[in-house]
Structure formats: C-alpha cells, structure tokens
Amino acid sequence: MSKRSNSAEFNQLLDKLYSLQRRGIKVGLGPTKKLLHACGNPQNNFTSIHIAGTNGKGSTAAILASILITAGYKVGLYISPHLLNFNERIRINGIPITNNEITEFMARFDTAIEEIHATFFETTTAMAFQHFNNHKVDVAVVETGLGGRLDSTNVLKPKLVAITPIAHDHTGILGKTLSEIAFEKSGIIKEKTPLILAPQDAAVKKVLSDVAITKKAEIVHCDPMSPQNILISPSGTKFNWKGLDYFTRLIGEHQASNAILAIETSKQFDSSINYESIKKSLANVVWPGRLQKMSISNPIFYDVAHNAHGIQVVLETLSKMYTKKPIGLIALKADKELEYISPKIKNKFQKLIVTSLPEMKLMPAYELQAEFNNFGIDTKLETDLQTALKKIKSRYLPGIPRLIFGSHYIAEPVFKEFDFSFDNGVI
C-alpha cells in the first residue's frame, strides 16, 4: 500500500493526511458531523447505498457500482483501504479523485480538521462526500470502514442498506461474539429503509432481523436465492441465478454470492435494469487483490483476506480448483485475531512462509512465527518480504498453487514483483 505519487509537494500533503492516523479510532459520530457541517453537509445532497459486513464489502460495492454505471448512472464509490494509491478510495465512474482535488480539500478545510481534531477516516469520509456532492453523482455506493453503528459513514441517510456476511474481526472494538459484532454492523439499518441481506449465521440473522423489524425496514433475504451451477476456474466464476447465466472474473463461490447481493441491491434501486446490462457489468468488474492470479504460466494468487472467515473462504476456493495443498506466504497486522485464524490455516499448506513489512506496521515475522508455533502450526521464516516473494515465485514445482495473503498493506511490493499494475486512471 503506497503513500507516494510523483509530486514531492503532494507527498508532503499525504504525509500530513496519514499522520492523522495517530489520532486513532474515535467512538461516536460527533467529530464527523462537525467536520461535515464545516463542509456544508454534502452528505445530504446525494442519494446513497450503504454497505456493511465483515467480508465481501469491497467486492459487493465494486460489482454494484459497475452495474449502476453500465445502467447509465453517475456513480460515486467510497471504499477502504486502498491497495496502491490513496486516490483509489474515492472514485466516480471508476475514475479516482485527483491529486489536485485532494489538495484543494485539505487546504480549504485544514483549520476545521485541526480544530475538530479529526481522525484520518473522519477526514477521508468528509473528503469523499464533498467530492460526490461537487460532481453531482446520481448515487454513491459507500462501504463502512469498521463496524457500522459508530462508523463515520453512518451519517448517511441511504436509499438502501446492504449487509454482507458477518464474522469475527476487530473483536477488540466490535465485540467478542457474533451477536455483539452483528449489533454494531446493524447500526447502519435506517427507519423504513430496505435492507438487502446476504446469507448469515443464525445468531447474526436474528440480531439483524430484530433491528430491521424495530426500524420497520423491509428485509430482502438473499439466502433463498443461492447461485446454482457454479463453475470456478482461474479465469473467473460462472453461475446461474434465477435461471440466468452470469460470469465474473472474480474467483469463488463467495464472489457469486457477492454478485447476487449486488444484483438484488441494484434491482431494488432501479427495477428497470435488465439482464443484459447486469451480465455485461459483471463480466467487466475488476477488483484487484481478491484471489487475483498474478502469473500467466503459474497458479500464483494474491488475496487481501486477513480474518478467519476470509482466509477460510479463500482456501476452500483454492481446494476446489487444485488437488494439491498450496504453498503460502502470509503477513498480518498485529491486531489480527490469531486464535480464530490459526485453526483455519493449520494443516492446509504444504509450506507456509511468514514474513512482514515493518514500515507498514505489520507484525514482525519472528513474532508471527512464534504465535503460530504456539498453535501447532509449522512455518518457515523469511523476514524480508521481497526475498519471500521471489521464493514463492520461482523456487517451487509448477502446478502447485501458491497463495500470498493476509494484508492490503503488502499490495505494492506484490504487484511490483509480478510486474502488474491496475493504476491506469479507471479502476
């Protein structure tokens, strides 16, 4: 995950923006509301669709945005985190916010940001909403950053709410149990605002349903509409839904489910969007870092999965494409719940290399190895990420799948090693 651009002046501004991360994560929407008030409350001037969940938020948001763009709408998209450049977080019809627009926002609202003591995410959320308002989007697809109830994005009054599968993640903030986490995520459910709901654990479903009933929010359940005839390959996923065939370049049954959630949400937004338009948009969706094949000739994949459920889904998907256990390369942030992750990866790899990228605040490789050893997981240590990438790229037999996973924050060196770029102006 890069912070750099070609301009020294702009890099200084990004450094200042990133320095706001030291202010941590605040509980409560007060500072966000104050900053947005200083911006003229731009969030009240555009239609929005709000998405929460644990895994699949980004993919669902990307698919939904693609569907709406293909249908002719001017669509804002706000996601986090980014992979290579900060600008990726804020886009309109796939085009990221420009350096100049970021600079103008920071200059105009610097005093308010400092007076309010706004955090990084509070500031970027206000920046996104101001950008969408300035460009008069028809609709903005907005992904929560963390949780929902107290997330900065929860100042929105959306037309629709969608919730992807909820699992354990950020338990130190959101709660230890699935019910507690679901309650935090349920905070984006609004009065009389339709809720499109992905298949959920029974305890999660009850919490979300109870909140929706209290809010008199109609629930559209996607679980009785599971995809059929799923065919997964390294080139993408084919599936049938409601008797119609679809293909997405995103790989896995979970991506078919994400697509269905996005399709159903788009139909709730505009029932006139037709099958051919949706089919075209799904085939064109690109969402890097999600079981992304990094080599033409070898089965090497990169996935940003960083929690137990996400990692489990990725490994299950690989097992459906390949009969041999993969070779893995993992790096994780220090706040990840290893007690949940470890059972999902134990005995699932031929070889598992642990590494790190200290400048991105990832857990030191030797610490991660020691933690995994405590859970009975045998690993190989490679403290230098670049060396680890070269090893996984070239030193093993062809035909054995290889998986690089665990963090968004290693995206830049991964893409550089495999000479891959998606930063072409439209994402």
pLDDT of residue 16: 86
Cα–Cα dist 151/184, whole Å = 9
Cα–Cα dist 238/283, whole Å = 10
Cα–Cα dist 229/239, whole Å = 5
pLDDT of residue 224: 58
Q: Which CATH class is domain 14-284?
A: alpha beta
The CATH 3.90.190.20 domain(s) of the chain lie at 292-417
Of 348, 165, 330, 144, which Cα lies nearest the Cα of 254? 165
**Using 50, 70 and 90 to split pLDDT, how confident is the model at 4?**
very low
Cα–Cα dist 137/329, whole Å = 40
**Using 50, 70 and 90 to split pLDDT, how confident is the model at 172?**
low
pLDDT digit string (tens) for 344-402? 999 999 999 999 998 888 999 999 999 999 999 999 999 999 999 999 988 667 779 99
pLDDT of residue 339: 92
Contact (CB, 8 A) for 281 and 70: yes
Q: Kindly report the pTM of this predicted structure.
A: 0.91
For 376, the token pair is 């009975």
CATH T-level assignment (fold) for domain 292-417: Protein-Tyrosine Phosphatase; Chain A (3.90.190)
The CATH 3.40.1190.10 domain(s) of the chain lie at 14-284
Q: Between β-strands 236-241 and 228-233, what pairing exists: parallel, antiparallel or unpaired? A: antiparallel
Per-residue pLDDT for 422 more than 60? no
pLDDT of residue 233: 95
Average of pLDDT values for 22-39? 84
